[in-house]
Amino acid sequence: MAQDNKNNSYGGAREQADARKASRRPARPPRLPWWARELVRFALLMAATSFVTFALVSLSPIDPVQANVGQAAYASMTPERRAEMAAYWGADTPLLERYAAWAAGALTGNLGLSLRFNAPVTEVIAQRAASSLALMATAWVLAGVIGLALGVAAGACRDRLPDRLVRAYCYLISATPTFWLAMVALMVFAVMLGWFPLGFSAPIGAAASSVTLADRAYHLVLPALVLSVTGVANIALHTREKVVDVLQSDYARFARTRGEGTWAVVRRHGLRNLVMPALTLQFASISEIFGGSVLVEQVFSYPGLGQAAVTAGLGGDAPLLVGIALASAALVFAGNLAANVLYGVVDPRVRGGASHAVR
Amino acid sequence: MEVERNVREVSVAEKSRRASECADAAGEPKGTALAPAGKHARAARASGAQAAANPGVLPAAEAPRAAHRAHVDAERHHHHTHAAGSHHPGGHHLLSVEHLSVSFTLYDPAAPFFSAPRVESRVINDLSLSVHAGEILAVVGASGSGKTLLADAILGLYEPNSRVTGTIWFDGARQDAAGLQALRGHGISLVPQSVTNLDPLMRVGRQIVGNARGEERRRRTERMRELMAAYGLPPEIERLYPHELSGGMARRVLLLCALIDQPRLIVADEPTPGLDLDLAVRAVSDLRRFADEGGGVLLITHDIELALRVADRVAVFRDGAVVEETARENFDAPELLEHPFSRALWHAMPEHDFDDAPAC
């Protein structure tokens, strides 16, 4: 996932360069409008994601029948009953045939039945996504804001104490597995200090109707913090690097020769030039936050998409897993698309090219 | 910028050793008609000779005190001679750089990676020059020879691993690093090389106005409009971004960034990259105008022909030092030049004999 992210943040610069090049090139044969191209890309992404997930589930050594019925029950079953179960889980149908059947349904909007939850996949995902999105959005915003602030501070104070502290923190956190951090946080803040609940998204035993928004927020705090703490490291380090670049640029040097101090340069030129890499990072980090949420939700028994994905994966529930994979791929795609669209809004070089230059 | 005595003495000794080697190779330079050996010249030569003979003794206080003294204009002083227009309002130079050395501490690139010792690499070596009000002094030297570091030193921009020694006087006052920093945009302004010195995401108008608020900003905006009109920039470029400017406009915008601060000295660092001579001369005419209105210009360039077309005086930069600082007219004939390297430069110009320049 880190690899993913790196590609994305460099991709931004490349696209800028391409856009500049494109504006100089003479007219090319007509192309599809950009939204149509994005649509084609999206369709391809969905097809590839679903097929790979299907293939991976069918290659998995987990026998869905055994996994879902349980060892004892499986041993006492008659062979006819076993065959019946295998047919229900689709274990005896060839991969391509199963995929074709699923794809035909998917095109009509029917993503199939979750065998594990015994409900339509869309329903399960919708239900889970609500709590998951709250968690991820909180962590995403926190990580972005804190990471940006720390990165700017570190870059502006390069090699001095604030920079060293921020970097030490980032390296430490980057080297720490999220699930371990989640367990430590749970141990310290929930068990030892008792500040936060031990898990779930609502008080245990409370009726769904009596759960208030405050309850939900209270249960959200610790997982969201853990999730954002790991996101901060990545964003802060990338931002720091960019701030260092900006401060070493010709225009920052020139601004200094005109009497601007370091903070004036950061304020006037740094933030402006940071907007785009920050946006790229922020939208690219969606995938990271999503990946982290799978682990964090598992540790905190938080009933979100991540936990459902683990359940589906371990239970051989192909339709649900594919559904979740598609949902997350769509989310990440939307994030990158948003970043691309925002570039055009923010950067005059991408927006207008050189078309209205006065010469 | 405290002078470090020992560093300076060593460098002076080195320089005079090199100079004497050069002189041996090319014959003793003759005195020129425009440079009658005045009191200062004798003092300077005497101190050089003394340093070479006895590096421990150097009249260190001589130069700084001399900067306050009024000069007879044609007289040789501070290692340079004058052009016709050079004068000293207030009895001192606008800018005087004396015995400037800039060195960098780095790991020895020739040594194995993990055991590389730190070495000190000296890029500018005992450099002295002076700029008068109302003139363009061109510093001419090869590309990549460290001329930009001279601009950095004058503007008080120092890298963390650099060591800068020497004395810089601005308008009769001796400056330390903080003083030079305070002069940025308040007396000394830089005209940089290319459009990359403009923030790509900020509209040109806001960049020219610079970092100012409220009343000050309004005043500067007004001033910018006057300057734009005076320098033939259409008002609509205020709203453009740097990538939308043509090369010529970008150069003028960079100049306006300097002029809006109403500087007394402009340091122009290769302001005409990639232009052919005639275009470059035209581009520098804006600087000429600034000098004619009483400002001083330090024009850093690699182009001797450009320097001879537009400058009042020329400082020949070589191996981190100025080997000769003289009036442009002295380049009319090689006999008028004092230093063998300046003569070599003269001979190397296309319209001259272009032949066996003394290898020095």
Percent with pLDDT over 70 in chain B: 73
Mark whether B270 and B203 lie in a shared domain. no
Give every CB contact of residue B286 below 8 A, 6+ residues apart in sequence. Answer: B231, B252, B255
Mark whether B112 and B240 lie in a shared domain. no
What is the pLDDT at residue B23?
37
The whole-angstrom distance between B186's CA and the closest CA on chain A is: 8
Mark whether B182 and B91 lie in a shared domain. yes
Q: Which two tokens stand for residue A40?
A: 């084609």
Q: Which two tokens stand for residue B141?
A: 């030297």
d(C-alpha A61, C-alpha A67), whole Å? 11
Top mean-pLDDT range of A81-95, A318-332, B288-302: B288-302
Please state at what angle helix B277-292 crosses helix B247-259, rounded to 10 degrees: 20
Give every CB contact of residue B153 below 8 A, 6+ residues apart in sequence. Answer: B97, B100, B102, B124, B164, B166, B168
Q: Is A10 on the interface with B (CB under 8 A)?
A: no
What is the pLDDT at residue A71?
63
Give every CB contact of residue A125 below 8 A, 6+ residues apart in sequence. Answer: A305, A308, A320, A323, A324, A327
Residue B350 has pLDDT above 50, yes or no: yes
Please state at what angle helix A121-156 crosses helix A318-346, rounded to 10 degrees: 40
Which residues of A fall within a CB distance of 8 Å from B157? 253, 256-257
Which residues of A fall within a CB distance of 8 Å from B249? 358
Residue B192 lies inside a defined structural domain of this protein: no
Could you say which of B262, B281, B296 is where a domain stops?
B262
Q: Is B196 on the interface with A (CB under 8 A)?
A: yes
Which residues of B fall within a CB distance of 8 Å from A264? 211
Mark whether B112 and B235 lie in a shared domain. no
Residue B237 has pLDDT above 70, yes or no: yes
**CA distance readout (Å), A101 to A107, A140, A321, B96, B133:** 10, 37, 16, 86, 87
Among A55-69, A169-183, B72-86, B186-200, name the one with the lowest average pLDDT: B72-86
> Taking the C-alpha atoms of A56, A60, A63 and A65 in order, what is their torsion angle to the nearest 10 degrees?
-20
Mark whether B77 and B208 lie in a shared domain. no
Q: Is A23 on the interface with B (CB under 8 A)?
A: no
* Total CB pairs under 8 A between chain A and B: 85
Report the relative pairing of strands B136-140 and B188-191 from DSSP bridges: unpaired
Q: Which domain holds residue A302?
A: 2-23+127-314
Among A136-150, A168-182, B11-25, B63-77, name the one with the lowest average pLDDT: B11-25
Q: What is the largest CA-CA distance in chain A?
A: 87
Other residues' Cβ atoms within 10 Å of the Cβ of residue B177: 15
Per-residue pLDDT of A238-283, as tens digits, reads: 999 999 999 888 899 999 888 888 888 888 888 888 888 888 888 8
Residue A88 lies inside a defined structural domain of this protein: no
Long-range contacts of A191-197 (CB under 8 A, 24+ apart): A196/A221, A196/A222, A197/A222
Residue A180's CATH number? 1.10.3720
Of A259, A272, A275, the CB nearest to B184: A259
Residue A236 has pLDDT above 60, yes or no: yes
Mark whether B164 and B253 lie in a shared domain. no
Mark whether B17 and B106 lie in a shared domain. yes
The whole-angstrom distance between A356's CA and the closest CA on chain B is: 8
Residue B329 has pLDDT above 90, yes or no: no
Residue B267 lies inside a defined structural domain of this protein: yes
Residue B360 lies inside a defined structural domain of this protein: no
- Whether B183 and A256 have beta carbons less than 8 Å apart is answered as no
- Whether B155 and B349 have beta carbons less than 8 Å apart is answered as no
Per-residue pLDDT of B162-188, as tens digits, reads: 888 888 989 888 888 888 888 888 899
d(C-alpha B178, C-alpha B185), whole Å? 13
Alpha helices in A249-317 (DSSP H): 250-257, 262-265, 271-299, 305-315
Per-residue pLDDT of A6-33, as tens digits, reads: 444 444 444 455 555 555 555 666 677 8
Residue B355 pLDDT class (50, 70, 90 cuts): low
Report the run of H or E that residue A123 belongs to, with start and end: helix A121-156
Residue B267 pLDDT class (50, 70, 90 cuts): very high
Which residues of B fall within a CB distance of 8 Å from A249? 196
Residue A19 lies inside a defined structural domain of this protein: yes
Q: Which two tokens stand for residue A113?
A: 């039945």
Per-residue pLDDT of B136-156, as tens digits, reads: 999 998 877 788 888 888 988
Mark whether B181 and B210 lie in a shared domain. no
Alpha helices in A25-107 (DSSP H): 34-59, 64-69, 71-75, 79-89, 95-107
What is the pLDDT at residue A8?
43
Residue A291 lies inside a defined structural domain of this protein: yes
Among A175-189, A301-315, B248-262, name the one with the lowest average pLDDT: A301-315
Residue B353 lies inside a defined structural domain of this protein: no
Residue B356 lies inside a defined structural domain of this protein: no
d(C-alpha A220, C-alpha A52), whole Å? 33
DSSP A318-353: HHHHHHHHHHHHHHHHHHHHHHHHHHHHH-HHHHHT
Residue A330 has pLDDT above 80, yes or no: yes
Other residues' Cβ atoms within 10 Å of the Cβ of residue A258: 22
Percent with pLDDT over 70 in chain A: 79
Mark whether B341 and B302 lie in a shared domain. yes
Of A258, A349, A356, the CB nearest to B261: A258
Residue identified by tokens 């936050």 is: A289
User: Residue A144's closest CA among A329, A284, A266, A25?
Assistant: A284
User: Residue B162's closest CA among B131, B124, B207?
Assistant: B124
Per-residue pLDDT of B206-221, as tens digits, reads: 989 988 888 989 999 9
Residue B301's CATH number? 3.40.50.300
Q: Which domain holds residue B11?
A: 5-187+263-348
What is the pLDDT at residue A28?
64
The DSSP secondary-structure symbol of B28 reads P
Residue B233 lies inside a defined structural domain of this protein: yes
Residue B354 lies inside a defined structural domain of this protein: no
Mark whether B277 and B320 lie in a shared domain. yes
Residue B51 has pLDDT above 70, yes or no: no
What is the pLDDT at residue B36?
34
> Which burial class, exposed, middle or buried, applies to A22 when counting CB atoms under 10 A from its CB (0-12, 13-18, 19+)?
exposed
User: Which of B188, B244, B266 should be substituted to probe chain A, the one whose Cβ sees the most A Cβ atoms within 10 Å?
Assistant: B244
> Taking the C-alpha atoms of A290, A292, A294 and A297 in order, what is their torsion angle to the nearest 10 degrees?
-110
**8 Å CB contact of A249 and B210:** no
Per-residue pLDDT of A155-196, as tens digits, reads: 988 888 999 999 999 999 888 888 888 888 888 888 788 788
Which residues of B fall within a CB distance of 8 Å from A260? 185, 210-211
Cα angle for residues B327, B282, A256 (degrees, 5° grid) = 80
The domain total for chain B is 2
Per-residue pLDDT of B8-39, as tens digits, reads: 333 333 333 343 333 333 333 333 333 333 33
Residue A308 main-chain phi, psi, to 5 deg: -60, -35
Mark whether B314 and B247 lie in a shared domain. no
Which residues of B fall within a CB distance of 8 Å from A159? 160
Mark whether B274 and B323 lie in a shared domain. yes
Closest alpha carbon within chain B to A268: B211
Q: Mean of the pLDDT values across residues B255-284? A: 87
The domain total for chain A is 1
The average confidence (pLDDT) of chain A is 79
